[in-house]
Structure 1
């Protein structure tokens, strides 16, 4: 092996150890590794930057925009209500996430499935007081293992099957032949997550779930006529489980209903009074069928989708101090509507227009984005800050955004367009159809995730080009010697899983294919069990976030550390390997 290969392996090892034993950001560490190899001349600039032009990396970036379109139109709420429902426990919540995802991933590209569900699961977890870190890694694992159930479940299966057809001049695998191993692996992942996640997955809740925000707002919402909420109980409408928010009372036809029962049925025109923290108040505005009780919202001279929520603290020099909101004509003066008011944590049980403003009141406003710049240095307010991503949803385009997503999935599944082309088309349609604004599309892209993916490709290129990957594969397989085929099969699984953790799953599969063929020939046995194990091992990347792109996609939103994947994923990788050794030789004999 060349000196360059040894240096590359050393650099990658240092990167892995740094990620495992420190809290350094993954993008900083991996880009540092790529930079070092570039400076040493082991990587050319073209190879170092190849990840930035990689189709998979760009696809993930574009899918962030598609997901943002679903969120901006409120389609995410529809998905959580119809697909995920109401969980009875953490284990039940994990199954509600993993079951549909594994089923979808068996027939669809798992990247858009995960991209679509990350924001939905985030909102769902917050709504039902669940730790999102207990759900997003299982989401990724289910997407990965679901793809092993069919021939079209992952691109790895198709690539290896194509290599096998070319080598043997046969027909290759049938559509559901892999289900013999894929379904047991899926069941194993489900059982493993349900049993061990309470100990091995971190419990990371956002501050909002702790209800520690000192800014307690009182906000009023109306049930819109002929909305989907009409006739539903408080519990059925999902208004009882709102994190950080409490339904104080209902005003109905002039009568007050305090201490509202969860079985109370909503009626058109009900005025619902909530008290809670700012993020929950913002989420409340996004529920389809509810509208702010103040009609001032509809008098602001900028369309609602182009506004955002802004917090402003009233100063002692504000000319409206001592006046009611209605008397001071707040909306006319500032072109902004007051959604809620917070005053030293006390509940202001009166209509917004009747509140007498005081210095120090924190106002939650719905206003044009320009409000922040116009009043940042104004003497009327002590502090003005925009809540990013708080635009009122475009509910009228929810069906359109879901149609765009389904169209993208159909085009990819039918083979009409590649994943990248379909994703670009869908993202463009989201913007053109005004499901999403250009500014929010730019904000939607998680650049940290993309940098990690690009850097991973750069390190993989170095390992591949220097011969390091080939050396590692052959050395590990050589440990099996000319012994029993089961030992050789175990060596193939271990070598492929290790390479998948360091380079892409497709690259690992292509690299290992000739190795397993030569091993089967030397042992004078059928190569079929080796090929099947190769397919599973190349996809069974649970132990690192960089081994599979869905792991990377949930890395940031789940608040995970690199070590979380090793702790949770390494035992699972070994268990999947044992299951392969038990099942594969029986279904596909040597």
Structure 2
């Protein structure tokens, strides 16, 4: 009976992951709760993910990475990066891809991409290179870099920890680096030679600044004295002078279900319009329309507001809630005037729109107000790039500690969990990070997601579900050549990751491939490596990996762009991995 419950709960979890009714961390905790309530796992087993080595290691690495970023060391290289990258498109492509891969091998890839996006956009504005020509390669390169070390991605840590808990020898820091570097070489060959021929070329003119080429949905109200009152839509200044598209009209509290270009506007009408940001500010300056959500006005002399284009990064507390639920205006005293979610136009009331990671927000705020949002990791700034100042008194010790964490684990002196914990303690006790800063550095949504998805693997192992699935797989393909079996495992894993989260896929696949390797009397290592690589190297959709989601809106991409660029790369990597992994990790 417990096995049936396990399969049903996992099926529910997969459905919720795909449909995205809830955030990924909420779905993960829901799955954990269902396992406990159904009796499949007792409370101690169900919540064991919170003290699992993978979860603890990941939390510590968040703190170590934050210390390196906060020190300004990486920002200190920004001037040289931007200067070199600004010489030619191919040079920019190579520079940003190499930087992205290199840094992502050791620190959180989402943080790396969040740092590089504004830098890349700065180069695009100066050179006329379309952002769509750079951002997808930056994201893909971060994924390749993350596979190169044990700490490169949370997926590597997760798979390694599950295997270690089941009694298998853990991987070292650089055990699979050579195999990963071979795949990185294959990936870079594609990104430098083939991808430029496929990547879309949008927003390529210098005159079209990135911040001025995006259309947003905004809500405006017609005020008394407006010259557009009693005019048909197609003759209003809103249409002729501002090229705004009216998508809905609310009159006396009711939506007009039918309207066309001949419909006349009335005083008090609330219009939802699609308009570019630069024209939006000009519209406000004419005092004919009141922009909803503008608490103090755009041109308050005592509190001057500036137009900022920002993005919701991975782990932002804003993600998963609406501005109204978050009490955004009351807390931060600034206004969100427009929202862009991927390429789709949002029709709902802006204050009630559920914000998602990767969304762009057009914010009117003072620089001080915006800095508060940035410091609290709610948004990252896209409209301009300002590098952090290097604090050498903290930067050098932070770098030494970070290198020490990696080196101690790499030489096998202790586990990565112990070395990262000691590193965190040193960062806090030496005041490089304050305890509050260390706490805020941890992406708690990811921690809760890890704890939740780990319960799936625990349930599969406890109820025999992993053995049952592996027996089915063994009876189906067990007679095939081990290399073909490995190839099919890689294929199923990366296809699953393109619709599920990478961590959920890893938690499900790891116990299954361990049982499969045991049944086939083969080494478990090549299968574990296949799961690690396949979960990270997913390029086919914008939701397959957080970094892919992050570049979607800033690059002005469409869903099909990922299919066109990512599918060939995924197929190439799948074929290459089928030969490279067994070469370095024999069966």
TM-score computed with the length of structure 2 as normaliser: 0.53
Residue number among 112, 124, 148 corresponding to 2:107 in the alignment: 112
Q: Does 1:395 align with 2:412?
A: no
Residue number among 525, 528, 539 corresponding to 2:533 in the alignment: 539
Partner of 2:453: 456
Q: Say if 1:463 and 1:442 are closer, same or farther in 2 by CA, change over 3 A.
A: same
Contact 1:133/1:202 (CA < 8 Å) preserved in 2? no
Contact 1:477/1:492 (CA < 8 Å) preserved in 2? no
Partner of 1:99: 98
CA deviations on 1:221-243 (whole Å, 9 max, x unpaired) are xxxxxxxxxxxxxxxxxxxxxxx
CA deviations on 1:85-118 (whole Å, 9 max, x unpaired) are 632566654543443565678xxxx453647734
CA deviations on 1:256-297 (whole Å, 9 max, x unpaired) are xxxxxxxxxxxxxxxxxxxxx9xxxxxxxxxxxxxxxxxxxx
Contact 1:431/1:438 (CA < 8 Å) preserved in 2? yes
**Rounded Cα–Cα distance in structure 1 between residues aligned with 2:16 and 2:89:** 34
Shift of 1:448: 2.2
* SS, match of residue 112 in structure 1: coil
CA deviations on 1:297-354 (whole Å, 9 max, x unpaired) are xxxxxxxxxxxxxxxx999xxxxxxxxxxxxxxxxxxxxxxxxxx968xxxxxxxxxx
Contact 2:76/2:389 (CA < 8 Å) preserved in 1? no
Residue number among 132, 137, 140 corresponding to 2:139 in the alignment: 137
Gaps of 5+ in 2: 125-130, 204-208, 215-277, 279-294, 308-329, 334-364, 376-387
**Higher deviation after alignment, 424-433 or 154-163:** 154-163
Shift of 1:175: 11
Contact 2:486/2:526 (CA < 8 Å) preserved in 1? no
Partner of 1:231: none
* SS, match of residue 146 in structure 1: coil
CA deviations on 1:537-556 (whole Å, 9 max, x unpaired) are 443213679xxxxx867477
Shift of 1:138: 1.6
Partner of 1:78: 76
Q: Say if 1:558 and 1:4 are closer, same or farther in 2 by CA, change over 3 A.
A: same
Partner of 2:465: 468
Q: Say if 1:435 and 1:477 are closer, same or farther in 2 by CA, change over 3 A.
A: same
* SS, match of residue 85 in structure 2: coil
Q: Does 1:68 align with 2:70?
A: no
Contact 1:64/1:446 (CA < 8 Å) preserved in 2? yes
Contact 2:172/2:410 (CA < 8 Å) preserved in 1? no
Q: Does 1:427 align with 2:424?
A: yes
Q: Does 1:415 align with 2:409?
A: no
Q: Say if 1:66 and 1:483 are closer, same or farther in 2 by CA, change over 3 A.
A: closer
TM-score computed with the length of structure 1 as normaliser: 0.53
Partner of 1:255: none
Residue number among 18, 25, 31 corresponding to 1:33 in the alignment: 31
**Higher deviation after alignment, 388-397 or 406-415:** 388-397
Q: Aligned residues, how many?
A: 413
Shift of 1:210: 0.8
Contact 1:76/1:119 (CA < 8 Å) preserved in 2? no
Contact 1:457/1:504 (CA < 8 Å) preserved in 2? no
Contact 1:142/1:186 (CA < 8 Å) preserved in 2? yes
Contact 2:32/2:456 (CA < 8 Å) preserved in 1? yes
Partner of 2:325: none
Q: CA RMSD in A?
A: 5.6
Q: Say if 1:531 and 1:404 are closer, same or farther in 2 by CA, change over 3 A.
A: closer
Q: Say if 1:481 and 1:57 are closer, same or farther in 2 by CA, change over 3 A.
A: closer
Q: Say if 1:570 and 1:533 are closer, same or farther in 2 by CA, change over 3 A.
A: farther
**Rounded Cα–Cα distance in structure 1 between residues aligned with 2:437 and 2:123:** 27
Shift of 1:461: 2.2
Q: Does 1:6 align with 2:7?
A: yes
Shift of 1:80: 3.8
Partner of 1:447: 444
Shift of 1:75: 1.8
**Rounded Cα–Cα distance in structure 2 between residues aligned with 1:361 and 1:191:** 48
Partner of 1:128: 123
Shift of 1:137: 3.1
**Rounded Cα–Cα distance in structure 1 between residues aligned with 2:531 and 2:122:** 36
Contact 1:64/1:445 (CA < 8 Å) preserved in 2? yes
Residue number among 386, 392, 400 corresponding to 2:369 in the alignment: 386
**Rounded Cα–Cα distance in structure 1 between residues aligned with 2:98 and 2:210:** 26
**Rounded Cα–Cα distance in structure 2 between residues aligned with 1:173 and 1:422:** 15
Partner of 2:148: 146
Structure with higher Rg: it is 1
Partner of 1:187: 185
Contact 2:453/2:507 (CA < 8 Å) preserved in 1? no
Residue number among 54, 57, 71 corresponding to 2:52 in the alignment: 54
**Rounded Cα–Cα distance in structure 1 between residues aligned with 2:61 and 2:583:** 40
Q: Say if 1:186 and 1:452 are closer, same or farther in 2 by CA, change over 3 A.
A: same
Q: Say if 1:50 and 1:583 are closer, same or farther in 2 by CA, change over 3 A.
A: closer
**Rounded Cα–Cα distance in structure 2 between residues aligned with 1:363 and 1:492:** 52
Partner of 2:362: none
Partner of 1:519: 520
Contact 2:144/2:183 (CA < 8 Å) preserved in 1? no
Q: Say if 1:192 and 1:585 are closer, same or farther in 2 by CA, change over 3 A.
A: same
**Rounded Cα–Cα distance in structure 1 between residues aligned with 2:13 and 2:560:** 19
Shift of 1:199: 6.4
Partner of 2:337: none
Map 1:147-186; keep pairs closer than 5 Å.
147=149, 182-186=180-184
**Rounded Cα–Cα distance in structure 2 between residues aligned with 1:431 and 1:18:** 40
Q: Say if 1:407 and 1:94 are closer, same or farther in 2 by CA, change over 3 A.
A: farther
Gaps of 5+ in 1: 214-276, 278-312, 316-341, 345-357, 365-372, 377-382, 521-526, 546-550
**Rounded Cα–Cα distance in structure 1 between residues aligned with 2:7 and 2:82:** 48
